[in-house]
Amino acid sequence: MNKNPLKIAVLVSGNGSNLQVLIDKQLNKTLNIDIVGVISNKPCAYALTRAKTANIPTVIIDKDSNGKKHTRVGFETHALQILKQWQPDLVILAGFMKILTPLFIHGVTIDLNIAMINLHPSLLPMYKGLDTHRRILKSGENHHGCSVHLVTTELDSGQVIAQAVTPVMHSENRDALQQRIHKLEHQLLPMVVNLFAERILMFNQQQLTNKIGINLPLKLFFD
């Protein structure tokens, strides 16, 4: 018996290349998903164009009805209202560059009981926060990568589900390293989404369980 598509809502701020990967896999049916909507805190985010081209509903939460920039609470309250309407099975932060407060995180993961995952460009728990590629090159570390983890109220500290690992080439600059990590992200995120879509990973009351007993985090190694 075919499973119902996993309903996904995606929060974005920028280019949306990881969103595009999910859109492509939805269209070619290599992922059993239904992207029910995209929320952006940036009206100029190219991710919105990607979503509109695929006829996916989009919402921009930038300014209030008086034309003033939304407060953090205003943004999160509005976003929660939208998610309640869409009723996704999974919320994905894909290049979403806004720190979320417990109001939103608890609203999603406790009140709505929905898993929320983030794609972070480092091998967590190392290098939380911003500018990870520059920091890695400066550190002299031999390996870098990206992680998909559950979102909790502590920044970049939720349970890590999977990581993609690659050697650091110290002859390359920050931009070159960033591009290599982007390519890994495009493989890692769909793999994790598929675990939810196939109901291998399940989320309930802030707890992640899996029906086949796989050890987390999964690690993918690339040359």
Any binding-site annotation on 16?
yes
Question: Is 97 labeled as ligand-binding?
Answer: yes
Residue 82 known to bind ligand: no
Determine the Cα–Cα distance for residues 12 and 105; give it in Å rounded to an integer. Answer: 16
Residue 17 annotated as lining a ligand binding site: yes
Q: Which of 70, 106, 120, 186 is catalytic?
A: 120
SS3 181: helix
Would the annotation count 95 as a binding residue? Answer: no
Nearest Cα to 157, choosing from 100, 209, 205, 211?
100
Q: What is the DSSP string of 69-135?
A: BPPHHHHHHHHHHHHHHH--SEEEESS--SPPPHHHHHIIIIIS--EEEEEESS-TTSS-SS-HHHH
186 is catalytic: no
Q: Is 18 annotated as a binding residue?
A: yes
In whole angstroms, give the CA distance from residue 196 to residue 115. 10
Does the annotation flag 100 for ligand binding?
A: yes
**CB-neighbour burial class of residue 88 (10 A; exposed 0-12, middle 13-18, buried 19+):** buried
Q: Which residues make up each annotated binding site for (6R)-10-formyltetrahydrofolate?
A: 72, 97-100, 118
Catalytic residues: 120
Known binding residues are 16-18, 72, 97-100, 118
